[in-house]
Amino acid sequence: MSVRHERAMHRAACLVGGYAAIYTVLMRMSLGSSQTVNLLEALSSLLSKCFAQAFLFFLGSVIYGASVFAASYLKQKGKADVCNISAVINIAGFVILGVLPTDIPPVVGLYPTFIMMSFMWVVFGSMGGYASAPIFSTNNFRQTVGSIAEYCADGDKKHLDKAKYFAGTLLMFHIGAAAGYAGCLAAGKYAAFFGILPCAVLLAAVNAPKLVSLLHSAKSHSPLNN
């Protein structure tokens, strides 16, 4: 797999990550891409003796952890096309998000994204020469600014390449988030169904070399070339 192809897949994954992130913030009142808030909510509920609520947050962490385990296992074994699996899981997750009621506990509404985003992070988080999560922005922002500072300090172009990589990650993530905002504004919780579109872009990016190869093969066997 070429670095160029890996970066194309990572950019497409960022579109999905941004769309899912803004959707959960607007429709489920929390970020469904990571576990920081979820674990803090679990601890807060436990200390407040809201045990039923604490259990829901704890269950969310178990779901996230199990998904990380599954994705890491499949990736390490190398016996499954985890890139396509991740894309399909995201499609299924957006469909489930679109049909879940809005009056359920917000954390339960995040369960699908706990599965979707954990797979995305494991599968697409180390592509194109750098480790970059396609599902949130903090480290990508830090890496962008830090790489620019390093380039200004020593003029080494490898820092400039790194800055461009992480800046591109931020750009694609927020393009996805902007699309998600527009979708939520137009369709509310049903904007989840629109999330299938960036997933289709991801599938196309993952399978682009195969598609190009098939087109070349079909063209070479065409009667017009004989």
User: Which residues on neighbouring strands pair with residue 126, listed in sequence order?
Assistant: 131
C-alpha 182/C-alpha 26 separation (Å) is 11
pLDDT tens-digit profile of 108-131?
999 999 999 999 999 999 999 999
C-alpha 129/C-alpha 161 separation (Å) is 10
What distances in angstroms separate CA 74 from CA 70, 124, 208, one per listed residue?
6, 13, 22
50 neighbors 56 (Cβ within 8 angstroms): no
What confidence score (pLDDT) does residue 219 get? 65
What confidence score (pLDDT) does residue 210 get? 82
Calculate mean pLDDT across residues 47-74.
96
What confidence score (pLDDT) does residue 224 get? 55
16 neighbors 191 (Cβ within 8 angstroms): no
Model pTM score: 0.92
pLDDT tens-digit profile of 163-220?
999 999 999 999 999 999 999 999 999 999 999 999 999 999 999 888 777 776 766 6
Angle at which helices 51-77 and 82-99 cross, to 10°: 150
Please give the helix or strand (H or E) that residue 136 lies within, else none. none
List alpha helices for the chain, DSSP H: 3-27, 36-47, 51-77, 82-99, 111-124, 138-154, 157-187, 196-220
Task: Tell me which architecture the domain covering 3-131+176-211 has in CATH.
Answer: Up-down Bundle (1.20)
